[in-house]
Chains A and B, each alone.
Chain A
Amino acid sequence: MRHLLSAHDLSREEAVLILDTAAAMAATQQREMKKLPPLRGKTVVNLFFEDSTRTRISFEAAAKRLSADVINFSAKGSSVSKGESLKDTAQTLQAMGADAVVIRHAASGAPHRLATSGWIDAPVINAGDGKHQHPTQALLDAYTMRRHLRGEDAIGSDLAGFRVLVVGDVLHSRVARSNVDLLHTLGAHVTLVAPPTLLPVGVGTWPCEVSYDLDAAVAARPDAIMMLRVQRERMSSAGGGFFPSPQEYSRKYGLDGARLRALGPDALVMHPGPMNRGLEISAEAADSAQAVILEQVTNGVAVRMAVLYLLLAGADDRAGVSTPELVKDSV
């Protein structure tokens, strides 16, 4: 694993290793002393071409807890706003000695381009690209589910046998795509629930089921329900007219108190944030005891620490350094 570009690229073993490493990282974050030394002297660049506060500070916290230096590069007010190309930006970062690039971009495939173009040697981590992928979000969601649903036996396990609903704007959601890929790899059964207008063409080929009826899906008592954010600009006819009105969307696809009770008290309520309270999720559901939405944020730091550690801490085999097999002997 050189880069983390897509949840689809991860094998079951790689995904479980990341989740297990995240568990170890999360345990260190319970301590008074949260800073760890493995990335001392490494520089992580957060290259954000699209606004994001949560993901950026989560990556920034993760890198700093591992003692890496962090450079934040956002498109606004930078050379990009003066028309610099992705290639020139990448080569500038390379010249400055970046050891890893965390990239968010509005264009699907930008991280892949960066990783495979030869413009830059450093590992590339996709922090969300267009409508394509957001692999660390899927990993933190899987971590959160595994922790709650497996409990004491979480280490080393996958999500085989669990049923997960992903509800809302699948069409525009990289979170949904990444989650379907990763949850399928980990053995969970995913059902997407959305109005037909908010499902992409070709969704029938995805490794999941599709339903238009949230009440029926909830009645099947899934183990977790993940509500996707509805982007407000999609509501008006100017934004594409994907649904007639917020009220109608909320009534048919929102998680309200009645559906929360129909789910039962053991189902996890998840949301990648930021939430539109009263639209896709009611305050009652968002603040309920079974909601793990804030825990998802906490786990995001641990998962990103794990990804940075696994991509950056080991020997750099690109340079032809000999890499003896992994041994745990006392030396």
Chain B
Amino acid sequence: MTSGTPARPRPEPGGERVVLDAGDIARATTRIAHEIIERNLGSSDVVLLGIPTRGAFLARRLGERVLRADERDVPLDTLVGTLDITLHRDDLRRRPVRAIEPTTVPAGGIDDKVVVLVDDVLYSGRTVRAALDAVSDLGRPRRVQLAVLVDRGHRELPIRADFVGKNLPTSASEHVSVRLSELDDVDEVAIGKGGDR
């Protein structure tokens, strides 16, 4: 599933500044999980859909914490899925063709559920717009919410997150790298020079 996404390289020291370490990411994830339960009065109607690649791993981490905090003993797959948005992107024609990642939805579907979209970085908002289109192809949720680990600003569409791990003021000439241990051997968020990659 992640074959097309190489681990994010760690540049030589000095080129980057780590803004969230593993402990920060764990605490932010735990807090968001509790906020999701609080906002939705429990988690029985909630479906977490992670946007590949790193959003999908974040969604699984959030799902584990939601089930623990809400004291539910059900398989993770009944709560968490992944949502590929490639076919709905607005920049398909501006880049080389992209590989398509799998979409998996919990067996109960998303009709009349609260769908929480999960991604690593919220930036222009275009990924989320594509995700909203992709969700409406899958069904009609009662409500859609958005959880991100990092909101770095610079929105190009009227979109905001419901749950944010950390607001990170950045310049457009910087890039934000989220590394997760499932792919990159380390949990951290770093800011570096060089603009959006």
Interface residues of A (CB under 8 A from B): 17, 20-21, 24-25, 27-28, 31-33, 36-38, 155-156, 309-310, 313-317, 321, 323-331
Q: Which of B55, B93, B98 makes the CB contact (< 8 A) with A330?
A: B55
- A269–B91 Cα gap in the complex (Å)? 42
**Which stretch in B14-22, B23-31, B63-71, B114-122 binds the other chain?**
B114-122
Which A residues are CB-close (under 8 A) to B1? 155
Q: Which of A36, A317, A330, A331 makes the CB contact (< 8 A) with B87?
A: A36
Which B residues are CB-close (under 8 A) to A156? 3
In the complex, residue of chain B having the shortest beta-carbon distance to the beta carbon of A314? B97
Which A residues are CB-close (under 8 A) to B86? 38
Contact with A along B79-122 (1 / 0, CB 8 A): 00000101110011111111111110000000000000001111
A-B CB proximity, top 9 nearest: A314-B97, A24-B100, A330-B121, A33-B137, A36-B87, A38-B87, A314-B96, A323-B96, A313-B92
**Which stretch in B38-46, B123-131, B184-192 binds the other chain?**
B123-131
Which A residues are CB-close (under 8 A) to B164? none
Asked if residues B100 and A314 are in contact (CB atoms below 8 Å), the reply is: no
Contact with A along B139-157 (1 / 0, CB 8 A): 1000000000000000000
User: Can you report 30 residue pairs joining A to B where beta carbons are below 8 Å apart?
Assistant: A27-B102, A28-B103, A31-B137, A31-B138, A32-B139, A37-B87, A38-B87, A38-B92, A155-B1, A155-B102, A156-B3, A309-B87, A309-B97, A310-B97, A314-B98, A315-B94, A315-B97, A316-B93, A317-B96, A324-B96, A325-B96, A326-B95, A326-B96, A327-B197, A328-B4, A329-B121, A329-B175, A329-B197, A330-B120, A331-B123
Known: A21-B99, A24-B101, A38-B87. A330 touches B52 (CB 8 A): no
In the complex, residue of chain B having the shortest beta-carbon distance to the beta carbon of A23? B102
- Quote the shortest CB–CB distance from A324 to chain B (angstroms): 6
In the complex, residue of chain A having the shortest beta-carbon distance to the beta carbon of B92? A313
**B173 near A: Cβ within 8 Å?**
no
Which A residues are CB-close (under 8 A) to B119? 330
Q: Which of B4, B84, B122, B138 makes the CB contact (< 8 A) with A33?
A: B138
Known: A37-B87, A330-B119, A330-B127. A27 touches B94 (CB 8 A): no
- A33–B111 Cα gap in the complex (Å)? 13
Asked if residues B94 and A321 are in contact (CB atoms below 8 Å), the reply is: yes
- Quote the shortest CB–CB distance from A40 to chain B (angstroms): 10
- Quote the shortest CB–CB distance from B146 to chain A (angstroms): 12
In the complex, residue of chain B having the shortest beta-carbon distance to the beta carbon of A325? B96
Asked if residues A328 and B55 are in contact (CB atoms below 8 Å), the reply is: no
Q: A25-B100, A309-B97, A330-B127 are in contact. List 20 more A-B contacts (CB 8 A).
A: A24-B84, A27-B102, A28-B103, A33-B137, A36-B87, A155-B102, A309-B87, A313-B93, A314-B95, A314-B96, A315-B95, A315-B96, A316-B93, A317-B96, A325-B96, A326-B96, A328-B4, A329-B196, A330-B51, A330-B123
Which A residues are CB-close (under 8 A) to B77? none
Asked if residues A36 and B96 are in contact (CB atoms below 8 Å), the reply is: no
**B170 near A: Cβ within 8 Å?**
no
- A20–B94 Cα gap in the complex (Å)? 22
Which B residues are CB-close (under 8 A) to A323? 95-96
- A329–B197 Cα gap in the complex (Å)? 7
- A24–B137 Cα gap in the complex (Å)? 15
The winner among B51, B91, B92 for most chain A CB atoms within 10 A is: B92
Which B residues are CB-close (under 8 A) to A325? 96
- A327–B86 Cα gap in the complex (Å)? 12
- A13–B104 Cα gap in the complex (Å)? 25
Known: A313-B92, A330-B120, A331-B127. A37 touches B51 (CB 8 A): no
Which B residues are CB-close (under 8 A) to A317? 96
Q: Which of B102, B124, B133 makes the CB contact (< 8 A) with A24?
A: B102
Which B residues are CB-close (under 8 A) to A309? 87, 97, 100
- Quote the shortest CB–CB distance from B193 to chain A (angstroms): 15
- A331–B156 Cα gap in the complex (Å)? 10
Which B residues are CB-close (under 8 A) to A326? 4, 95-96, 98-99
